[in-house]
Amino acid sequence: MRRGKLSWKMVSSTLILLLASSAAWTTQASADSTRSMTISRIDGPAYIQQSGGALRIQAYPGMLLHEGDTLVTESGGAVLSIQDEGDEITLAPNSEIRIKVLAGGAVQSTTKLELMSGQAYTSVHDLRESRDVFEMDVPGQKLEVKGTQFFVIINPLTGTPDVVAGAGVVKVSGTNPQSFAGKAESPVTLYPAQQISLTPGVDPSLQTPTSVDISDLVHQASPDIIKAIIQNKAQIDRENQELIEQQKKQLEQGQSKPSGSSASNGSNDLFLVSQLEDLQKIQQNLNVLVGNVAKEASSQGKIEKSKLDPLIEQVNRGIDDPNGKIDLGNVRPFDPTVGLDPQQEAKRKEQEKAQQELQKKIQQQIQQQQQQIQEVLQQQQMQDILLQQQMQQQLQAMIDNILKTIAELQQANQKAAEQRATQAVIQYQQQLSTEEMKRFEEEVRRRNQERIQMGGQQPAAPTQPTAPTQPNLPGGSMTPPVKPPVDPPVDPKPVEIKAVFSPDFPEQVPLHSSHKFTFGFSSGQSNQDTKVKVRVTYSSKTGINLSETDYTYWYGEDAIKEGQLSTDGIVLTKEAGPDGEEGEAYTLGELNGTPITFETRLPEVGDYQVKVELLKDEEAAGDPLVTVIKEVHVFDGLSTEVNPIEGTDLDRTLKVKAGGITPETVLGLEIDLRRGSGEASKAAPGAKFILVHNGKEVAVEETNSDGIADVLLPPQLAAINLGLVNENGPTPDGAEFTLRMVAPVDEGNIPLPGEYTAELQWVRQTGDIEHLIPLGQAFKVHYTVPPTL
């Protein structure tokens, strides 16, 4: 993405949005009083983690939030209101915000928030003549805000923030005064309709704000944020008009900077004006800012026309000046060059052009490499196909030779057998008298006739008849040939009945979530009219009482019965019986496929066993036709607070608190390390991660070729031994680790410089390295490895 747009930077830093008066004033903590924040609107699932608690509870409109609480939105946004000051914070979906301080005294109120992910649009009361303090921490640097309207986006992949000013003036400076080459950095000023993407570790005065890219702003922002911008048009216009009037007075007095601008900015000041004509252009630009946002939102389809038109009509009713109203059919274009220093803008465009050419060159090289790789793969694929064809031809030739040999052997055996039979008949006939020979020939003709009548077969060649039983008796006689015996019928093999689950049976379930599975039986050629019932039995391996645990089961789409689990199991029938009696049994055919759904909510963390049995109706208490036993583990997550360690670049402290994990749980840390930024980032093999607890190294692992490392604690360091839990449950302090990273090195054993991002996920070990169970949400840690001088 071009510099000046809402670009994402793969770096970690801390942005503090400070809204306060410029006068230095302090108040005693004892004089502060507790304040609250209200969820005035919520548009989807969201939950609250209260101060000092590990459990998350469902959020709802009208809910009061207090100092230390955290709000997380999921598929919908939310609006927070601070009633005493009239402040309002609009959150986009998939955002997380924490209330650090919410206090108020007789003269001053203090509000400090932390936006950890997502997007937020903040509209606060006018702080220019007030002692009130309003701060917002985000991953980045410090912003001191004199205005009331600003917008922050945190990139969900890199955690890097971008800031857009809607009204007022913002000063940007580093959080560490001595963090830039050992000297204090110079602040940079952000004015209305300007934006900045901050590169952590770089002096802010070396980073250039640009005019807001409205197209990119609308593309990145959620519909909730866009609506908030439009709804606040009157307030944005009013505050910007006051800024213009103030600048006009300063021009008349021979000044060229707005109030609050710092002379130390030098050429970085992008709001320089030297005559009224320049100021008029800036005023025109600010007046059409929100209108262009609304028009672009309509063009991109971010807000449906049926919702956008009523919103604009409502906003226009609160604007007295006809020229200030929004008319999508008559919106003057926004000029991104207005108010910018021409020299700085030309320099920025040259840098941007050079960067684009470099990116184009890199992209061409990548495409060439990809094409070469594709050609090699195609050649290899053709060679594999040819080799496979040759092998198939050779195999087919071998099979043909074997079949030919078998056929020749069969023909030779058949011919030899016919010859032996013919020779035996001839020898036998030579022993017969004339009368015996006649009877023999008649018997042969009779049997051939029977074959023709019974099976339509051609007469077979004469075979050797049974020799006379008494060859020396007068008149001679022989026993007629005996028909070959017929094999008795064989009883068919019994058909196996199997239990079928769709989808797979859930063996890992988060605490407070439903355990739900759908199943049936595959009965093959069995009697489909056989009457059967199903029994489902839950049991706890750790002695947890399940007698008050509710359940529901369905047959197809119909809910059949609700109740509570029993140690004797729950017998499932097609219909519920009267007064607690068992209902009508299924037929075996009715259970083909997966027509039954069973659902319950297991009460505590632990290991459980589920037994599913298929019973004949009349043998409900007897041996089952089918028995399947499944294992279920209920788990709760972990929360992790990551902090840098002073004096080190690559060490972090991990403060971990448990939810409801069991004392014997053995943890591990799954790490995915990448080097670079955005889509150009690559796996970082060869980095070493060391986990330290109580001053001792307890686990070490190196990233593989995919940048993955599984840092697994030894079995003796279970959760109870780490201090995460005790016999009463999770401990309030949890456990603290130090995570050390040793950067990968090149062939000369020199650390590879650059920006690194590690995504970390706590896991529960199961004894199988391929089966690690996630605990809690994944979190990210950013590293900067400087070049070696």
Q: Give 399-444 pLDDT, tens digit per residue.
A: 988 988 898 888 888 888 877 877 777 777 777 778 878 787 788 7
Phi, psi torsion values for 78, nearest 5 degrees: -155, 160
Q: How many residues does the chain have?
A: 789
What's the rounded Cα separation, in Å, for the pair 242 and 240?
A: 5
73: amino acid identity, one letter: T
From residue 271, alpha-carbon distances to 3, 65, 279, 292, 341 in Å are: 18, 39, 10, 21, 7
What's the rounded Cα separation, in Å, for the pair 63 and 85?
A: 18
What's the rounded Cα separation, in Å, for the pair 160 and 681?
A: 15
Return the ∠ at Cα 788 (arms to 783 and 789), rounded to 5°. Answer: 140
Residue 103 tokens read as 């206090």
Task: Assess whether pLDDT exceeds 60 at residue 464.
Answer: no
Q: Give 514-545 pLDDT, tens digit per residue.
A: 999 999 999 877 788 889 999 999 999 888 89
Q: What is the DSSP string of 506-549?
A: --EEETTS-EEEEEEEE-TTS-TT-EEEEEEEEEETT----TT-
Return the ∠ at Cα 474 (arms to 468 and 477), rounded to 5°. Answer: 25
* CB neighbourhood size of 367 (10 A): 10
What's the rounded Cα separation, in Å, for the pair 142 and 144?
A: 7
From residue 1, alpha-carbon distances to 195, 359, 480 in Å are: 14, 10, 101
State the pLDDT confidence band at 105, using cuts at 50, 70 and 90: confident
* Pick among 2.40.110.10, 3.40.140.80, 2.60.120.1440, 3.40.710.10: CATH of 15-340: 2.60.120.1440
> Which pLDDT score is estimated for 322?
87
State the pLDDT confidence band at 452, using cuts at 50, 70 and 90: low
Task: Assess whether pLDDT exceeds 80 at residue 335.
Answer: yes
- Indicate whether this model's pTM tops 0.75: no
What's the rounded Cα separation, in Å, for the pair 465 and 428?
A: 8
Q: Just give the CATH number of 498-635.
A: 2.60.40.10
What's the rounded Cα separation, in Å, for the pair 383 and 370?
A: 20
**Radius of gyration, alpha carbons of the chain:** 41
> Which pLDDT score is estimated for 621?
56
Task: Assess whether pLDDT exceeds 90 at residue 74.
Answer: yes
Residue 401 tokens read as 């030779």
* Pick among 2.60.40, 3.10.450, 1.10.472, 1.20.1300: CATH of 638-785: 2.60.40
> Which pLDDT score is estimated for 33?
65
> Which pLDDT score is estimated for 310?
93
Q: How far is CA 642 from the centre of its chain?
A: 21
Residue 415 tokens read as 């011919």
> Which pLDDT score is estimated for 86?
86
Q: How far is CA 593 from the centre of its chain?
A: 30
The secondary structure of the chain in percent helix, strand, coil, rounded to multiples of 5, reads 25, 30, 40
> Which pLDDT score is estimated for 457?
46
Q: Give 471-509 pLDDT, tens digit per residue.
A: 444 444 444 444 444 444 444 445 578 999 987 888 888
Q: Give 545-597 pLDDT, tens digit per residue.
A: 999 999 999 999 999 899 999 999 999 998 887 776 778 899 999 999 999 99
18: amino acid identity, one letter: L
What's the rounded Cα separation, in Å, for the pair 518 and 594?
A: 6
State the pLDDT confidence band at 659, using cuts at 50, 70 and 90: confident
How large is the angle between the packed helices 289-300 and 223-231, nearest 10 degrees? Answer: 150
**Helix, strand, or coil here: 569?**
coil
Q: Give 208-252 pLDDT, tens digit per residue.
A: 788 889 998 999 999 999 999 999 999 898 888 888 888 888 887
**Helix, strand, or coil here: 507?**
coil
From residue 171, alpha-carbon distances to 7, 186, 242, 447 in Å are: 20, 10, 18, 116
The dihedral built from the CA positions of residue 387, 392, 394 and 395, taken in this order, carries a sign that is positive
What's the rounded Cα separation, in Å, for the pair 598 and 577?
A: 18
